[in-house]
């Protein structure tokens, strides 16, 4: 066992993940199977995700709204592929107020249908387009195998829904929002993601095409961390979302939807965590700096507290998220371990000797042991801390990128070689995209295609599908996945 009874990653990564999520106070189990309670520290991490995305959505012209949790069952049946794709996961209400309902109500698994119904009322003219809506909400999908943050029956997310006059505009929106997700993942969550198009088998039910950001976790499994869908006119036709164009002719809209959920919290945990617990990128960490006062005697405590009370406000005024750990009857060592588990990027220690030297000790969470510890002057501390947080942010991203890249393999040889790589790594191979080939990989390797990357390694070239040997125009990533 490693710190505080956490199972080492090398021993059982799944158990490590559950240990860390609980011991770092992110979440707990609910009395309802498959649901979770998000604790304050975990919710603050989600709020950082939410805030980073919400500002990006608004900067690209989207406005927030809210739609009902309950959806008439008949709405889902209007788009045949959509209802077929979601049927196994639906929670349905048949009794309300002690009486059987005339029409069952589905608990929202996603909101394309109810929002399509609203769009049909709101859109009449090309002047009403584009209509750019986002909602922050909870959804329910009746999952059989659940795991905290990664896959729960109820989860929090945002779902964007937009309507456009042309397919070109809708596709541009689809790709723009995929880029927004990638920008957040890379620059805030420090997760190196691959942007790509899902295979037809893996696309969203009812979409023309689905795009995703794919991330590699520390156990080398893939995690789909955000999706953006080109819905074509499927939902517009199902819900009669029409507009009169500039020639006064009636046309169906082209729509999109895109979503990212509390799964991103799990992605942050599994991309950066180690056997000591979380390692949080400073840009999303609820606490960026924890200050631990160190004093054995009352007179020392008075001196140290004076320094802490002077330095902490300076950091806060500079916009740095600071917490002072002044808990009594706990040793400094216990506090160090506790904050390491919680992944706080920077620990500041202040003792009487530090006060006398006008210095503080800084310990970086991203660099273990003595290598990550330094003594710096109190003068200019704000700039020192800012620079160190920027360094930690960049280093966590680089560590994750180096790890990912060391486990990506371009495989163009035999199918057996392809299967060998998929035992524990990611394979990038020519893929014809057929359902038969996709199914064969699932059966032979318990792996799936993750995406056709937007940045193809050999643009303009073609090859032979690694599975069937047929012609293939694109390469795709394959991996075992959550």
The per-residue pLDDT for 1 is 42
The per-residue pLDDT for 3 is 57
Q: Where does 3-272 sit in CATH, by number?
A: 3.30.930.10
Same-fold call for 3-272 versus 289-386: no
Task: Identify the CA nearest to 280 among candidates 369, 396, 400.
Answer: 396
Q: Which fold has domain 408-479?
A: Translation Initiation Factor IF3 (3.30.110)
Q: Which residues on adjacent β-strands are paired with residue 7?
A: none
CATH class for domain 289-386? Answer: alpha beta
The count of other CB atoms within 10 Å of the CB of residue 39 is: 15
What pTM did the predictor assign?
0.95
Low-confidence residues in the chain, pLDDT < 70 = 1-4, 80, 82-83, 85
Question: What are the structure tokens assigned to 182, written together?
Answer: 């990638």
Spatial separation of the C-alpha atoms in residues 429 and 415, rounded to whole Å = 10
Could you state, in order of their start, the residue ranges of all structural domains in the chain? 3-272, 289-386, 408-479
Across 309-462, the runs of DSSP E, i.e. the strands, are 322-324, 346-350, 359-364, 373-377, 408-410, 426-431, 448-453
> What is the tens place of the pLDDT at every residue in 380-434?
999 999 999 999 999 999 999 999 999 999 999 999 999 999 999 999 999 999 9
- The phi, psi pair for 113, rounded to 5°, reads -75, -50
**Furthest-apart CA pair in the chain: how many Å?**
84
Residue where the block lists tokens 């498959």: 34
In sign, the C-alpha dihedral spanning 417, 422, 425, 427 is: positive
Q: What is the DSSP letter of 128?
A: G
Question: What are the structure tokens assigned to 160, written together?
Answer: 């964007």
């Amino acid at each position: 066992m490693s710190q505080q009874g956490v199972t080492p990653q090398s021993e059982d990564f799944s158990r490590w993940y559950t240990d860390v999520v609980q011991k770092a106070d992110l979440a707990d189990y609910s009395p309802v199977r498959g649901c979770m309670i998000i604790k304050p520290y975990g919710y603050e991490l989600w709020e950082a995700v939410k805030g980073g995305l919400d500002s990006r959505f608004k900067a690209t012209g989207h406005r927030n709204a809210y739609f009902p949790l309950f959806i008439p069952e008949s709405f889902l049946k209007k788009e045949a592929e959509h209802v077929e794709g979601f049927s196994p996961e639906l929670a349905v209400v048949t009794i309300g107020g002690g009486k059987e309902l005339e029409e069952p109500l589905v608990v929202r698994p996603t909101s394309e249908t109810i929002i399509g119904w609203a769009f049909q009322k709101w859109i009449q003219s090309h002047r009403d387009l584009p209509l750019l809506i986002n909602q922050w909400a909870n959804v329910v999908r009746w999952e059989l195998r659940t795991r905290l943050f990664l896959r729960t029956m109820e989860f929090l997310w945002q779902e964007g829904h937009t309507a456009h006059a042309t397919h070109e505009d809708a596709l541009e929106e689809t790709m723009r929002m995929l880029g927004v997700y990638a920008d957040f993942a890379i620059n805030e969550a420090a997760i190196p993601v691959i942007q790509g198009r899902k295979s037809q088998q893996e696309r969203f039910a009812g979409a023309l095409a689905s795009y995703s950001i794919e991330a590699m976790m520390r156990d080398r499994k893939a995690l789909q961390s955000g999706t953006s869908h080109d819905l074509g006119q499927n939902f517009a036709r199902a819900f009669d979302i029409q507009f009169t164009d500039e020639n006064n002719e009636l046309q169906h809209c082209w729509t999109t939807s895109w979503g990212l959920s509390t799964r991103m919290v799990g992605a942050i945990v599994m991309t950066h965590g180690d056997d000591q617990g979380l390692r949080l990128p400073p840009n999303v960490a609820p606490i960026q700096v924890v200050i631990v006062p160190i004093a054995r005697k009352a007179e020392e405590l008075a001196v140290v507290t004076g320094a802490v009370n002077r330095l902490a406000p300076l950091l806060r005024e500079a916009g740095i998220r600071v917490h002072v750990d002044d808990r009594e009857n706990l040793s400094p060592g216990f506090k160090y371990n506790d904050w390491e588990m919680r992944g706080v990027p920077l620990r500041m220690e202040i003792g009487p000797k530090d006060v006398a030297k006008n210095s503080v000790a800084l310990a970086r969470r991203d660099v273990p042991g003595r290598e990550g510890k330094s003594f710096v002057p109190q003068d200019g501390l704000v700039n020192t801390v800012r620079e160190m947080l920027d360094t930690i942010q960049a280093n966590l991203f680089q560590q994750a990128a180096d790890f990912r890249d060391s486990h990506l393999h371009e495989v163009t040889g035999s199918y057996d070689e392809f299967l060998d790589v998929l035992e524990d790594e990611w394979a990038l191979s020519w893929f014809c995209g057929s359902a038969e080939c996709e199914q064969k990989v699932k059966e032979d390797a318990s792996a799936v295609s993750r995406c056709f990357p937007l940045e193809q390694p050999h643009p303009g070239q073609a090859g032979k599908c690694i599975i069937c040997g047929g012609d293939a125009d694109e390469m795709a990533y394959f991996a075992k996945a959550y």
